[in-house]
Amino acid sequence: MLNIVNVTFPFFALVLAGFVATRRGWLALDAIPAMNAFVLYFALPCMLFRFGASTPIARMLDPAVIGSYLGCALLIVAVAVVLTRRGVVGWNDAAFGSLVAAFPNSGFMGVPLLVDLLGPAAAAPAIVAVTVDMVVTSSLCIALSRLGTAGEHGMREALSKSLRGVAANPLPWAIVFGALVSATGLELPPVVFKPVAMLADAASPVALFTLGAVLARSQMRPDPEVAGGTAAARRADVPLVVGLKLIAHPLLVWGVGSLAMALGLPLEPFALQVLVLLAALPSASNVTMLAERYGADSGRIARIVLISTALSFLTFTVAVAWLV
């Protein structure tokens, strides 16, 4: 257990450092968007590109991994919508509650943490999960958020807007270009690869520190006004959604993956191990920004992200001790 904590604690310590630095005023709130931009447009794309380029293309197109992880994500979305869409929680808040329950922080935290914990082979299933969450799960939940307010036309418009957002996101493109390099066997010249590697090495510490800063900022800002009931009534389901993310999601992935292997499907035990640990990660912080953009209760989502991140140091460590 001590060896596991020695690996996981530095990652959570960087998140805590960013949180404390922001709360104490050592990091200006105005600096956070620039740090986010550096992580999103430079460091993380380079990291994902490097992992993609060094991973056999067949491992990134594994249908058993894609099907198992996607099926579980859709089940979590469905369960979360059924359990939270009641009373003052309409389709908009239920949809983003389901997204925050199904979308782990695999980009900022998951890929570097699991590669450090399990080795470079963990990159392939982790990249698959990142792609599924960014392209399919996010688009589906954004489309669901328009139900009941804008009709079928609103759903199509929201889905189209979501897919345009995916196309403008550099992370999927970094994975695609990395996969192309892997498939073609192309070797980048050192003059190109070296700066890419330098930015990739910066991704993990800067992303985790920035995550802490973003979580602190969400607590320092006043809650936005959201129509539809009191804040307390809208946020009564926060513990439920946190439980879905940290407990139900990884257990579901483990159960579905174990069943798939028992039925003879070609899902490797190591790949399942990576997927379960990814599902055990806290909620993705970017869901808060999506909720704000689409008029949902972003304060509720920020609270779920913060609580799941704080609790995940314990729950994730237990999951690692169980599986590794």
Residue 42: predicted pLDDT: 92
pTM of the model: 0.88
In one-letter notation, the amino acid at residue 17 is A
Residue 297: predicted pLDDT: 84
Residue 139: predicted pLDDT: 86
Mean pLDDT over 32-61 rounds to: 88
Q: How far apart are the C-alpha atoms of 94 and 141, rounded to whole Å? A: 9
In one-letter notation, the amino acid at residue 54 is S
Helix axes 151-168, 138-145, angle to 10 degrees: 150
2 versus 263: the higher-pLDDT residue is 263
Domains of the chain in sequence order: 2-323 (1.20.1530.20)
Instruction: Using the predicted structure, report yes or no on whether residue 224 has a pLDDT greater than 70.
Output: no
Residue 158: predicted pLDDT: 67
Full DSSP string of 295-314:
TS-HHHHHHHHHHHHHHHHH
pLDDT digits (tens, 9 = 90+) for 73-84: 999 999 999 998
Residue 1: predicted pLDDT: 67
Mean pLDDT over 259-285 rounds to: 93
Q: How far apart are the C-alpha atoms of 57 and 283, rounded to whole Å? A: 28
Q: Which residues, 6 or more positions from 88, have their beta carbon under 8 angstroms from its beta carbon?
A: 228, 229, 230, 233, 234
Residue 229: predicted pLDDT: 53
Residue 150: predicted pLDDT: 56
Q: How far apart are the C-alpha atoms of 238 and 305, rounded to whole Å? A: 10
Lowest mean pLDDT, pick from 5-14, 65-74, 85-94, 201-210: 85-94
Mean pLDDT over 228-236 rounds to: 61
Helix axes 123-132, 269-279, angle to 10 degrees: 50
Instruction: Using the predicted structure, report yes or no on whether residue 99 has a pLDDT greater than 90.
Output: yes
268 versus 165: the higher-pLDDT residue is 268
pLDDT digits (tens, 9 = 90+) for 118-143: 988 898 899 999 989 988 998 888 88
Tell me which residue of 140, 315, 320 sits closest to 245, measured CA to CA.
315
Q: What share of the chain is helix, strand, coil (3-state, %, to 5)?
A: 80, 0, 20
Arithmetic mean of pLDDT over the chain = 86
Instruction: Using the predicted structure, report yes or no on whether residue 152 has a pLDDT greater than 60.
Output: no
Please give the share of the chain, as a percent, with pLDDT higher than 90: 43
Give the 3-state secondary structure of residue 283.
strand
Residue 90: predicted pLDDT: 81
